């Protein structure tokens, strides 16, 4: 059963990790997928992989912090492919410094992380608003366990604030857009093995152990673990679900 047939799905940060897996999963479910990433080469490679597997995919370079570019790419996609009915706001970065480091670094972390992880979600959503309204579309935002809590393992206050912000924005947009039939939900991944945390996994296995020991399912997640919830929230299976966050964290937040 192709759950996303006749949909056009745009996914930010789709050149790597979770976004790349979601793009492949959506294509397998029949959607035409549009992969957006600041890393144009990675997005193009991922799109080629999807086409080689028989899916419909194209890619565009996009830095989600550049508001005008978000609007330009949204217009371009509408012209080439048609109106986007599914938007996944997935692009994100993390850093692991507290507020007590060198001032310049602390300020740079704050500005970069909020610009990409939170303002980026606003920029891209705003750019696709007409298409999403016209199609009674669905928005899936990628939050985190840090949409609810800060972690004692090194992480930045900006990351926690950005992911709390993503959940707040999800709820606000769900409330406003419900009357237009647009559903807005989030996914809260736990620790997922992706290039985002490749360095820390290699250099600090103890940190990974702290996460896994705290996870009832007893393992780290894989990008594929986020695909099922992302298909659910984009498809008619979740027709009466909006303003929610689906935790895909192996149970991390339950203990």
* By the rule CB under 6 A, 62 interacts with ligand NAD: yes
Contact characters 63-102, ligand NAD, x per CB under 6 A? xxx------------------------xxxxx--------
Report, in Å, the least distance between residue 205 CB and ligand NAD: 15
Report, in Å, the least distance between residue 181 CB and ligand NAD: 26
Listing from the earlier edge strand, what are the strands of the sheet with 138-142? 56-61, 32-37, 8-12, 86-89, 138-142, 183-189, 245-248
# residues contacting ligand NAD (CB under 6 A): 30
Is the CB of 8 or the CB of 23 nearer to ligand NAD? 23
Which one of the listed residues 26, 159, 191, 211 is annotated catalytic?
159
Q: Is 203 exposed, middle or buried (0-12, 13-18, 19+ CB in 10 A)?
A: exposed
* By the rule CB under 6 A, 137 interacts with ligand NAD: no
Cα gap 220→190, rounded to integer Å? 8
Report, in Å, the least distance between residue 189 CB and ligand NAD: 4
Report, in Å, the least distance between residue 154 CB and ligand NAD: 14
One residue of 4, 10, 11, 18 binding ligand NAD per CB under 6 A: 18
* By the rule CB under 6 A, 153 interacts with ligand NAD: no
Active site residue 26: no
Report, in Å, the least distance between residue 183 CB and ligand NAD: 20
Candidates 16-24, 25-33, 48-56, 234-242 — which segment interacts with ligand NAD by CB under 6 A? 16-24
| Residue 44 token pair | 């193009």
φ and ψ at residue 119, rounded to 5 degrees: -65, -30
Cα gap 21→205, rounded to integer Å? 24
One residue of 37, 69, 109, 225 binding ligand NAD per CB under 6 A: 37
Q: Select from 47, 65, 46, 70 the least CA-distant residue to 57.
A: 47
* By the rule CB under 6 A, 15 interacts with ligand NAD: yes
Report, in Å, the least distance between residue 121 CB and ligand NAD: 9
Candidates 25-33, 150-158, 194-202, 232-240 — which segment interacts with ligand NAD by CB under 6 A? 194-202
* By the rule CB under 6 A, 47 interacts with ligand NAD: no
Instruction: Give contact residues for ligand NAD (rule: CB under 6 A).
Output: 12-13, 15-19, 37-39, 42, 62-65, 90-94, 116, 142, 144, 189, 191-192, 194-197
Active site residues: 159
């Amino acid at each position: 059963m192709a759950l996303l047939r006749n949909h056009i799905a745009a996914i930010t940060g789709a050149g790597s990790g979770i976004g790349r897996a979601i793009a492949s999963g959506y294509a397998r479910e029949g959607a035409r997928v549009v992969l957006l990433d600041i890393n144009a080469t990675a997005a193009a490679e991922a799109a080629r992989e999807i086409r080689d597997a028989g899916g419909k995919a194209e890619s565009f370079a996009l830095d989600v912090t550049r508001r005008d570019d978000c609007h330009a790419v949204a217009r371009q996609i509408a012209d080439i492919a048609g109106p986007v009915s599914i938007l996944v706001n997935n692009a994100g970065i993390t850093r692991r410094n507290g507020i007590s480091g060198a001032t310049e670094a602390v300020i740079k972390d704050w500005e970069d992380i909020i610009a990409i992880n939170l303002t980026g979600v606003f920029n891209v959503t705003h750019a696709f608003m007409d298409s999403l309204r016209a199609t009674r579309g669905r928005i899936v935002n990628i939050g985190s366990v840090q949409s609810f809590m800060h972690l004692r393992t090194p992480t930045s206050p900006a990351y926690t604030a950005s992911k709390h912000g993503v959940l707040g924005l999800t709820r606000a947009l769900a409330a406003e857009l419900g009357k237009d039939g647009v559903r807005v939900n989030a996914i809260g991944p736990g620790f997922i093995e992706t290039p985002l945390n490749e360095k820390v996994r290699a250099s600090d296995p103890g940190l990974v152990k702290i996460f896994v020991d705290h996870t009832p399912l007893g393992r780290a997640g894989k990008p594929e673990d986020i695909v099922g919830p992302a298909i659910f929230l984009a498809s008619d299976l979740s027709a009466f679900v909006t303003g929610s966050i689906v935790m895909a964290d192996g149970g991390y937040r339950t203990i």
